[in-house]
Amino acid sequence: MLVVVSLAMLTVYFREADSGPMHGLQGNVASVLHPFQVGAERVARPFRDAYGWTAGLIHARSENEQLRKDMQIIRQQAIQNATAVQENEDLRKALKFVSGPSFPSDYDQVAASVSSHAPSEFEQSLVISAGGRDGVGFDDPVLSVDGYLVGQVTKVTEHSSEVTLLTDSTSSVTAVDVATNTVGVLEIGEGPDRPFELNRVPKEKVVREGDTIVTAGRRFGRLGSMFPRKIPIGSVKHVGQTDIENFQQVQVDPFVDFSSLDILIVLVPKARTPTP
């Protein structure tokens, strides 16, 4: 009997629209659960921070050395970038250049805590404590507090929203190599470590290890979602190619640690296009 009820519930939920009665029921019950989840999360946070701090000590020394090296390189790059930005602004003014929505100026940022993590390894999503009443909408991009791309909003209730992470097999984003301007589609790969792969990069295009990958802000054919431009995603870890493949194999190391997300930023467009 209960199996039949479960199957019926599943079927109705799966087939109905997001405004259907089952989705409404879920939203209402979720509103009841929400304060308890937030409370539990707040109680647990000091313990989780302590665990993270202790675990971080193991790699602290080697990480520190690496970060010092990185900082020297980044300092040099920052000086070059500042000059380039100024030059870019001058040229844009001179050309009266009109561009699409850009991050962060065309977006409001809604910070929200993670109230529920993915229930199993098979589902790469989490629930945040900001919903429709906070302005969050379907497909809004979601970043980490450091400003790196995490995923996008895939379900919205009044008080909470579901965020599907980039690590989900259904996620894909058009991304570009900042150094060489090579565009590809970033997706999660199928391997023992499940690396991120920048797919559909032709062999003649140049991608180097260590290059930074950011969102391209445009669609790649019919693939990928529309994220604003220039949101950092990760750096190129490995580049390879074989004779039988048409495209290069580019592995990307994400900047975000997807296993320790506590607070996320939702980018809410200042001028949201009404859904047809």
Partner 1 sequence: MTADTAKTAIAFFLAVIVQAAIVSSVAPGGGTADLVLVTLAAVALLRGAVFGSIAGFYAGFLLDTANLGTLGVSSLLLTLAGYWIGRYGETTGRDRAHAPLVSIAVVTVLYAFGAVALHAMLGEPVSVQAGLRALPAQILLNLLLTVPVYALMRRLFAPASRPLKEVEFS
In the complex, the residues that contact partner 1 under the rule CB under 8 A are 2-3, 5-11, 13-14, 22, 25-26, 29-30, 33, 36-38, 40-41, 44, 48, 51, 114-123, 125, 127, 155, 157, 160-162, 169-170, 188, 190, 192, 194, 259-260
Q: How far is the CB of 40 from partner 1 (least distance, A)?
A: 4
Minimum CB separation from partner 1 for residue 137, in Å?
15
C-beta closer to partner 1: residue 50 or 67? 50
Q: Which residue has the tokens 């629209």?
A: 17
Residue 119 or 274 having the CB closest to partner 1: 119
Query: At its nearest, how many Å lie between partner 1 and the CB of residue 188?
Result: 8
* ω into 104 cis (within 30 of 0): yes
Please state the φ and ψ torsions of residue 190, each to the nearest 5 degrees: -110, 95
Closest distance to partner 1 from the beta carbon of 111 (Å)? 18
Pairwise CA distance, residues 248 & 237, whole Å = 13
Q: How far apart are CA 211 and CA 200, in angstroms?
A: 17
Query: How many Å apart are CA 135 and CA 93, to the nearest integer?
Result: 33
**Shortest Cβ distance from residue 164 to partner 1 (Å)?**
11
Closest approach, Cβ 61 to partner 1, in A, equals 22
Nearer Cβ to partner 1 (8/74): 8
Taking the complex as a whole, how short is the minimal distance between the CB of residue 65 and partner 1, in angstroms? 26
Q: Which is nearer to partner 1, 106 or 262 (CB)?
A: 262
Smallest gap from Cβ 260 to partner 1, in A, equals 8
Give the separation between CA 250 and CA 253, rounded to whole angstroms.
Answer: 10
Q: Between residues 3 and 57, which has the closer beta carbon with respect to partner 1?
A: 3
Q: Which is nearer to partner 1, 131 or 217 (CB)?
A: 131
Q: Whose Cβ is closer to partner 1: residue 155's or residue 229's?
A: 155
The residue among 49 and 70 lying less far from partner 1, judged by its C-beta, is 49
Contacts (Cβ under 8 Å, ≥6 apart) of 150:
142, 143, 144, 163, 165, 166, 256, 258, 261, 264
Which residues, including other chains, have CB under 8 Å from residue 110's CB and lie 6 or more apart?
A: 130, 134, 135, 136, 265, 266, 268
